[in-house]
Structure 1
């Protein structure tokens, strides 16, 4: 939701947004309208062209929120899945620092939709600032990302939640390298599966266990349901992953009995023959 320009060799992001304040009301961009920025109060103008989604932009160059990125149709479609008053919410920290969250639900969960590449320093800063948040990442920005992710998924582990897939070679996937150190859940949006039209949506658990990254397939509808209804599913999900991984670890430590020797096999067959008599 921000366009980067170079002015006197300094990179400045011009904030663009879906909503502006017009006489105390939140309004979407329409041709000929002008309003004020909900974050900084500066004047904004409606940009309603044919190439980009309609949006508001500051008049002139103004540094408002350096965390916003250019808003794509992918961004807008995701935000529109939530009530309008949950979108583009100004979030304040105790220090007075403020940023505009893509979506902030009634339960206080912040959902950030990320299309472009994000430096690790900024990602960590956002996670520290929002604390209670999840990422939804566009897994189709680079041509090979989707195929690499699916190729890296390891064997299936069953449990509750329904099933968990662990990634054994995550270093070979650029998406995982970009997001491997995230301290909050990350959902990779791979669009729609061609065979049956089902959405492909994967949740990366924020905790790495035994050097493995754990992914779980989650339906887009269930993701929207839990966050619209304010359910604490993220915590429950991560706890479920921990329980299953611990069970697998303990099972692997149980000594397995040695197979019987040839003599013992002979005695077992003989005993079975006598019992049948």
Structure 2
């Protein structure tokens, strides 16, 4: 893709990328280089929770977390749980509080029911079936996994055409949960509203946003503070992965948006 040339000027030591479009994959850089994912981990962990739901470990509306909270609340950052501690900061469904701790509560529940560490469950339920051989959840389900562009491309293809869960379950994950909630997207400030699916951030009308300005409102995905992101446009056959080794900051905001707009324009050219 011509738009990959933009990546050559990024102020990072290493950058790898892929774009999936209509069944074909284009790549840039060393797709087998291992990067820390930070919060892109949440997409992988959440996919494991969707598998767990279909396996009967729990249901979306099973009680979990603070009083009145459910699996659905935790997966969509609507439980009121604080960012870094498993304690209630707000009431349930009062505010979209971005919470790694909430994601870890879910991991603990699956681990207890499955009688194995969540890292093992996720490996057996998601990584191994998809052939993601260099992906590892080494700590928190909210932000401590590492992977490669090659592996995340396989994951992105699963998000385009699911094989591990039903299309209906995935569609629900891509659907805004508790649509009226406001909240803060780390690095991008307060969003009113702040749409989120089940583990997947939804672009909606957020502006500025780490995806391209011209990309559809239905775009879903996540970015990580380690300088990483993955997006999918549901029902389009299109997805993008970019991994770097420079922490997210002011350098990333304009470059990510510009690059994603270039990619989207090239795909639609």
Common fold: TM-score over 0.5? no
| Structure having the higher Rg | 1
Higher strand share: 1
After TM superposition, the score normalised by the length of structure 2 is 0.29
Q: More helix by proportion, 1 or 2? A: 2
TM-score of the two chains, using structure 1 as the length reference = 0.29
Higher normalized contact order (CA 8 Å, seq sep 6+, divided by chain length): 2
